[in-house]
Chain A
Amino acid sequence: MSCADRRAFTLLEALIAVGLSSAIVLAASMALRVAAQSTALARRLSDENALIRAGMGRAHAELDFWSMLDDPDAPTAQPLRAVTAGQGLAFTPLAAVAPPRAPPVPGPEDERGWDPTDPWAMHDPRGWYYGNPAEQDISDVRYGRYGAFANAEPAPVLAPLDFGAGANGYATPAVRHGWLFNQMRTLLDALGYYGYCEYMPANSLYVYYTSHNPSPDWQSGGTALGGLPLELVKPGIGKFASNDGHSGYPRGLYLLTFLASFAAPNADIAAARMQGVSRSYYVTGYGLTWDPNGVEYQRLIRDTETRRPLLPLAPRHWPRIDVSIQRFVRFARFTQIARVRWTSPLTGVAAELNFTGFSTTLRGARQQRRPTSGWARWDNDGTANDATLDTH
């Protein structure tokens, strides 16, 4: 039989052919598997990048619209509109807590209530501070009774003073300057500390005069001898004035916030805690030098950072993306920190991108909202615009 007539492989040929074929198939399958894995990895990275981009977009939208703290389209997601004992929160409609608008009769100093169109122009004498900037919570009022000239009350009670000769101070005065201190009290009661600080002009001293109350407790409305509310002026009681040694006099925003912060509350904390968070300071910055374990910083994060999953419903193999926002004032700067955090579904490793943004302020956010629910329309086409949370 000639070779040409041979119809089969020899055993050796078959073995070599099978071996070579196996090697080729194995190499091909490995190449395909690597390619498929690479493609899957690329797709997963691409998905992750897309989700991170979406998270960034959500964070920017939050900087613009504050929806995590107050969703105008969802009445059940408006925890910061509550009123407790006459005190509001950051998104409480002003009409719900502010004293009624009163016309400026007989003069501008007698105007009451909030006018959202008032520019608080610097030349306007009713916006000037007529208190004593050096008067303290422990003052003996040695430099005079400034509360007799400027006061949140029209006819304030002044503390009886004994100068050693039985003198009993002054009669009840007719206060000349009442507009500014009434505005301060209105904003403080309506918005909490963060909103109070934001609504007041940058040159404000944040303590007003009211009737003297001898109670030593701020809870009871106690005041210093001259009528400065202890809640605002007494340092270190965990309320408005941080403990920086003893700056028990009316402070401006820098001095109030160079080692402490006021913040907008986390929308998810218990309703009963909203007022407390809205009306206390958090030690920050170098004040944390005395907090080596970071307890105070963790309290700040817990109480003031609102976090939401980007996709509440998502495939399990997708990375989990959380977007959070935190707003506070420190060093007189109003800061908004956005965080986009993603967690790998495979390794559990988390990474975070955080950035600050300059966008809508609290007042701007309130002007975006109608007093009941829904977004307030604003246009300059000559038609009437909607009422807002600041309409009063």
Chain B
Amino acid sequence: MRRSTRTERRQARLGAVLLLVAGICSILASLAFAFLVRNRSDALDVVEQLRDTQARLMLTAACNYVQEAGRLGYDWTTPPATDADIHREAYGWIDVRDGRDGPRGTNGEALFSTALVVDGDGDGTMDRPAWPAIGGVVRAPMHVQRRPPFALAPDVAPNAMVVDELDPDFGRPLLRRPDPEPAIDDRARWWAGDPAPRQETVGLAWFRILRDGPSTFVVTCGAGATQGFRDWQECDRDGHGQDYGGDPALFADAIAQEARLWYRIEWSGAVKDASYHDIQNEYPHFGLKDHYALWPMNSSDSHQCQAHTRGMVGTMRWVQRLREEPARW
């Protein structure tokens, strides 16, 4: 038998070291790979939860919209000829004056039409009215505009008092500038705003509301890129197919990755009670029983003020999460 040479034995030792190092490296690599895979999986789970949370936030937005759309009223998208027509105030989904279906304007005129003008199911016949009539649907993608109409400058104290004692205006509450201030000086552009969306906010969330009764609504809350379209047919019919490259599969992907939640809500014209600590509660201690000594409603004293009103545009009587997707939304 031939004896191994020194070189051969050295090469054998080097081979053993190589095997050892390779083994250790592969173990470390597999551990690292498993770690990364798990992190990736966790991240995906977090994204799912983020979508759910984002969709839930839309419930608040939808309720605010219902409150404002029924009571606060409607502005024009184009400035009207006279300031008298700037804003059409409404009086609630059930008119607080006479109980008729709203929203109606100051003179009782309907700010809605019951004419069937929307083909909701795509069968070629018009089957529902436009929002805000009963049966109407509004869809609200919630991207952020670059500058909404009537935006205000984020300046909390445009007329801050001068604190330099040497200044002749020291300590004087001069009201030289409007408070609050418009975000821009051009009146027409201020009215119109800049509706272009901020790109980083596009495709994140939306809500959609079906008015299914005088004061009840089905609210769909979504987090994803479908803009609140129920399906591809509706999206395409509404002229938004090109938002998805005209590709139904892309829209289907957006639906698959989306969170959708359904709620039902009821609006009430009730706003606040009349007590709010208005009646002087300390008088009975002095032997004065019934009395009408009131704090004024706009008192700035302590907690006795209107600031505690829950909403001047009505309140939500109840909110109900629906366990299953309803037939119409």
**Interface on A for B, CB 8 Å cutoff?**
3-5, 7, 24, 28, 31-32, 35-36, 38-39, 42-43, 46, 49-50, 53, 56-57, 60, 64-65, 119-124, 132-136, 138-143, 198, 201-205, 244-255, 258, 331-333, 357-365, 367-368, 375, 377-382
Distance in angstroms from A111 CB to nearest chain B CB is 16
Distance in angstroms from B207 CB to nearest chain A CB is 13
In the complex, chain B residues 181-198 whose Cβ is within 8 Å of any chain A Cβ: none
Residue B218 lies at the interface, judged by CB distance under 8 Å to chain A: yes
Q: Fill in one digit per residue for B111-132: 1 if any A CB lies within 8 Å of its CB, else 0.
A: 0000000000000000000000
In the complex, chain B residues 1-35 whose Cβ is within 8 Å of any chain A Cβ: 3, 5-6, 20, 24, 27-28, 31-32, 34-35
In the bound assembly, the distance between CA atoms of A253 and B315 in angstroms comes to 14
Do A379 and B321 touch across chains, with their CB atoms under 8 A apart? no
> By the criterion of a CB under 8 Å from any partner CB, how many residues of chain B are at the interface?
72
Binds A, one of B138-146, B223-231, B234-242, B285-293: B285-293
Q: Taking A201-B268, A254-B272, A380-B212 as contacts, is the C-beta distance between A39 and B31 under 8 angstroms?
A: yes
Which B residues are CB-close (under 8 A) to A138? 284, 289
**Interface on B for A, CB 8 Å cutoff?**
3, 5-6, 20, 24, 27-28, 31-32, 34-35, 38-39, 42, 45-46, 49, 52-53, 56, 59-60, 63, 92, 94-99, 212, 214-215, 218, 263-264, 266, 268-277, 279, 281-282, 284-285, 289-292, 303, 308, 310, 315-324, 326-328
Which A residues are CB-close (under 8 A) to B45? 50, 53
In the bound assembly, the distance between CA atoms of A204 and B274 in angstroms comes to 8
Q: Taking A202-B272, A368-B320 as contacts, is the C-beta distance between A380 and B218 under 8 angstroms?
A: yes
Do B327 and A379 touch across chains, with their CB atoms under 8 A apart? yes
12 contacts between A and B (CB under 8 A): A38-B35, A39-B34, A119-B317, A134-B291, A140-B289, A203-B270, A204-B270, A205-B274, A246-B282, A254-B272, A365-B320, A380-B326
Distance in angstroms from B298 CB to nearest chain A CB is 15
Do B270 and A28 touch across chains, with their CB atoms under 8 A apart? no
Write the chain A residue with the least CB distance to B308. A254
Distance in angstroms from B286 CB to nearest chain A CB is 10
Taking a contact as CB atoms closer than 8 A, the residue among B284, B291, B317, B323 that contacts A363 in the complex is: B317
- Chain A interface helix/strand/loop/mixed: loop
Do B59 and A359 touch across chains, with their CB atoms under 8 A apart? yes
Do A359 and B42 touch across chains, with their CB atoms under 8 A apart? no
Do B290 and A255 touch across chains, with their CB atoms under 8 A apart? no
In the bound assembly, the distance between CA atoms of A368 and B264 in angstroms comes to 11
Which A residues are CB-close (under 8 A) to B319? 358-361, 364
Do B291 and A121 touch across chains, with their CB atoms under 8 A apart? no
In the bound assembly, the distance between CA atoms of A66 and B168 in angstroms comes to 63
Which A residues are CB-close (under 8 A) to B323? 65, 368, 375, 378
Write the chain B residue with the least CB distance to A120. B268
Do A252 and B321 touch across chains, with their CB atoms under 8 A apart? no
Write the chain B residue with the least CB distance to A206. B273
Q: Taking A49-B42, A60-B56, A123-B99 as contacts, is the C-beta distance between A42 and B35 under 8 angstroms?
A: yes
In the bound assembly, the distance between CA atoms of A83 and B92 in angstroms comes to 38
Do A4 and B6 touch across chains, with their CB atoms under 8 A apart? yes
Q: Taking A123-B96, A123-B99, A258-B303 as contacts, is the C-beta distance between A28 and B281 under 8 angstroms?
A: no
Q: Taking A53-B46, A333-B310 as contacts, is the C-beta distance between A252 and B276 under 8 angstroms?
A: yes
In the bound assembly, the distance between CA atoms of A375 and B27 in angstroms comes to 52
Do B272 and A252 touch across chains, with their CB atoms under 8 A apart? yes
Distance in angstroms from A317 CB to nearest chain B CB is 17
Which B residues are CB-close (under 8 A) to A140? 289-290
Do B270 and A367 touch across chains, with their CB atoms under 8 A apart? no
Which A residues are CB-close (under 8 A) to B96? 121-123
Given known contacts A132-B290, A203-B270, A379-B324, what 5 new A-B pairs fall within 8 Å (CB)? A32-B24, A35-B31, A140-B290, A247-B277, A248-B284
Q: Taking A57-B49, A202-B310, A381-B328 as contacts, is the C-beta distance between A252 and B56 under 8 angstroms?
A: no
In the bound assembly, the distance between CA atoms of A247 and B273 in angstroms comes to 15
Which A residues are CB-close (under 8 A) to B310? 202, 332-333
Q: Taking A60-B52, A122-B96, A134-B279 as contacts, is the C-beta distance between A65 and B31 under 8 angstroms?
A: no
Q: Taking A60-B56, A358-B60 as contacts, is the C-beta distance between A255 and B277 under 8 angstroms?
A: yes
Do A205 and B275 touch across chains, with their CB atoms under 8 A apart? yes
Distance in angstroms from B5 CB to nearest chain A CB is 7
Taking a contact as CB atoms closer than 8 A, the residue among B5, B32, B99, B292 that contacts A121 in the complex is: B99
In the bound assembly, the distance between CA atoms of A282 and B45 in angstroms comes to 40
Do B273 and A203 touch across chains, with their CB atoms under 8 A apart? yes
Write the chain B residue with the least CB distance to A382. B327
Taking a contact as CB atoms closer than 8 A, the residue among A39, A143, A362, A365 that contacts B290 in the complex is: A143
Which B residues are CB-close (under 8 A) to A136? 284, 289-290
Distance in angstroms from B308 CB to nearest chain A CB is 5
Which B residues are CB-close (under 8 A) to A64? 321
Which A residues are CB-close (under 8 A) to B63? 358
